[in-house]
């Protein structure tokens, strides 16, 4: 079987493939930027609905703290920060100072690196649990039910926009604790 490389193509064919690849990358980049901007706009509107200033959504980490405060989970912010720091310390002690790259993931053996395995599994379970509780409480505080929370979890870009631009209203009294 013939090995196909870029040298097997004519200059015009190589230019065409390069142009197609460049167009694909530009399209993907534009889509990601548009989704990110919609996400920021949605968070801005949600913060305004909750009585906060919208521009605060532009401040990294503080915007997460505010959203957790809105759904009465602000102490979770500090627990999650501590868990991420502990996981990084465990991975650093086990020989992975900045997480795992693709090659390390492909050849990872949990028996050889038990601290990293515990850190990754532990932080994944905690993050998943916190996210489920967060979307449920967000759904509840804005007057929606468990099905809306499922939508927030699985289709966040769509449901955050519905929450931001829909008729949802914020009422912190909907949460008992």
pLDDT in tens, 51-100: 999 999 999 889 989 999 999 998 888 888 888 888 878 777 777 766 67
**CB of 157 closer than 8 Å to CB of 39:** yes
Q: Is residue 5 part of a domain?
A: no
pLDDT for 119 beyond 90: no
Element (H, E) at 25: helix 11-49
Q: Is residue 2 part of a domain?
A: no
- Helix, strand, coil % (nearest 5) of the chain? 75, 0, 25
Domain range holding 23?
10-174
Predicted local distance difference test score (pLDDT) of residue 43 = 93
With cut-offs at 50, 70 and 90, classify the pLDDT of residue 3: low
Using a 10 angstrom Cβ sphere, with 0-12 exposed, 13-18 middle and 19 or more buried, the burial of residue 67 is: buried
Predicted local distance difference test score (pLDDT) of residue 140 = 95
Q: Is residue 48 part of a domain?
A: yes
Report how many domains make up the chain.
1
pLDDT for 32 beyond 90: yes
Q: Is residue 3 part of a domain?
A: no
């Amino acid at each position: 079987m013939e090995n196909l490389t870029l040298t097997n193509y004519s200059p015009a064919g190589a230019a065409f493939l390069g142009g197609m690849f460049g167009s694909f990358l530009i399209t993907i980049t534009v889509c990601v930027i548009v989704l990110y901007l919609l996400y920021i706009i949605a968070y801005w509107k949600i913060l305004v609905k909750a009585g906060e200033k919208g521009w605060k959504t532009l401040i990294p980490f503080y915007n997460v703290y505010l959203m957790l405060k809105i759904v009465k989970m602000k102490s979770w912010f500090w627990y999650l920060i501590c868990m991420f720091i502990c996981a990084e310390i465990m991975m650093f002690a086990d020989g992975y100072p900045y997480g795992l790259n693709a090659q390390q993931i492909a050849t990872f053996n949990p028996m050889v690196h038990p601290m990293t395995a515990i850190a990754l599994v532990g932080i994944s379970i905690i993050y998943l649990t916190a996210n489920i509780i967060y979307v449920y409480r967000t759904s509840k505080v804005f007057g929606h039910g468990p099905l809306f929370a499922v939508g927030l979890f699985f289709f966040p870009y769509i449901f955050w926009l519905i929450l931001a631009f829909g008729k949802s209203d914020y009422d912190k009294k909907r949460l008992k604790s």
